[in-house]
Chains A and B, each alone.
Chain A
Amino acid sequence: AQKITQTQPGMFVQEKEAVTLDCTYDTSDPSYGLFWYKQPSSGEMIFLIYQGSYDQQNATEGRYSLNFQKARKSANLVISASQLGDSAMYFCAMRGHMNYGGSQGNLIFGKGTKLSVKP
């Protein structure tokens, strides 16, 4: 079965500093995708970044980058130059290949990390 583990329930970071949010995963699928979503206090789910299991390079999207270590089954999110608006819940999620291993394409989420940015 697929599983996502986020071991940091909450984290603090000083404004303008970088922060790493941890995510480890477990799957038997040879092909899968890893996603990070942000949920601010307003409640919406915002897609941040994606990493494919066969991608050779780590994904980057602006201030977000994904530190993908396939052998260790980790997909940590790095936020550079933190801003006050980055304060939110962050969810790591995984999606298996459609109709392979029963995953059926839905996202499996971790429990989330609450990030608080201090001024």
Chain B
Amino acid sequence: DTAVSQTPKYLVTQMGNDKSIKCEQNLGHDTMYWYKQDSKKFLKIMFSYNNKELIINETVPNRFSPKSPDKAHLNLHINSLELGDSAVYFCASSQDRPRGYRYEQYFGPGTRLTVT
């Protein structure tokens, strides 16, 4: 019973291509996130979706577009891939009702994207 799943786990592609990463959570959580972990292991928020509405976009290039067909899914689509997009992308989810800060986030296994 995987709580947060991502596909694919590895993605190797060439510059200029368009690719998508899929994320699904079966925890019934309200909010889903995308984080990027760079080569130095630094994790930074990219997007957050709460009940299918975008509530964060942290200075991410508009080549990145999150798509949430329903509360359990948050996919990440990337256009015109660049070398600098190579990283590990993590999907996460958390319960946020009642409103608060105390809920931990559950992370997916990550997708290692390599752009050549």
Neighbouring A residues of B43 by C-beta, 8 Å? 91, 107, 109
Contact pattern, B 14-28, Cβ under 8 Å of A = 1, otherwise 0: 000000000000000
User: By DSSP majority rule, is chain B's interface helix, strand, loop, or mixed?
Assistant: strand
Segment of B60-68, B69-77, B79-87, B102-110 engaged in the interface with chain A: B102-110
User: By DSSP majority rule, is chain A's interface helix, strand, loop, or mixed?
Assistant: strand
The answer to whether residues A47 and B105 also contact, given A104-B56, A109-B42, A109-B43 and a CB cut-off of 8 A, is yes
CA distance A91 to B42 in the complex (A): 9
Segment of A14-22, A29-37, A66-74, A78-86 engaged in the interface with chain B: A29-37
Find out whether the CB atom of B106 lies under 8 angstroms from the CB atom of A33. no
Find out whether the CB atom of B110 lies under 8 angstroms from the CB atom of A89. no
Find out whether the CB atom of B107 lies under 8 angstroms from the CB atom of A44. yes
Find out whether the CB atom of A98 lies under 8 angstroms from the CB atom of B106. no
Find out whether the CB atom of B110 lies under 8 angstroms from the CB atom of A104. no
Instruction: Give the size range of A's interface with the partner.
Output: 20 to 34
Neighbouring A residues of B100 by C-beta, 8 Å? 97-98
Instruction: Give the size range of B's interface with the partner.
Output: 20 to 34
Task: Pick from B44, B92, B101: contact of A97, CB below 8 A.
Answer: B101
Neighbouring B residues of A89 by C-beta, 8 Å? 41
The answer to whether residues A47 and B104 also contact, given A98-B96, A105-B31, A105-B94 and a CB cut-off of 8 A, is yes
**Nearest chain A CB to B114's CB is how many angstroms away?**
14
A62 within 8 A of B: no
What are 5 of the A-B contact pairs (CB < 8 Å)? A43-B88, A45-B92, A97-B101, A105-B55, A109-B44
B binding-site residues for A, Cβ under 8 Å: 31, 33, 35, 40-45, 48, 50, 55-56, 58, 88, 90, 92, 94, 96, 99-102, 104-107, 109-110, 112
Extra 10 A-B pairs, beta carbons < 8 Å, given A47-B106, A107-B35: A33-B102, A39-B41, A43-B88, A43-B109, A47-B104, A89-B41, A96-B101, A104-B56, A107-B45, A112-B42
A binding-site residues for B, Cβ under 8 Å: 31-33, 35, 37, 39, 43-45, 47, 50, 52, 89, 91, 95-99, 104-109, 111-112
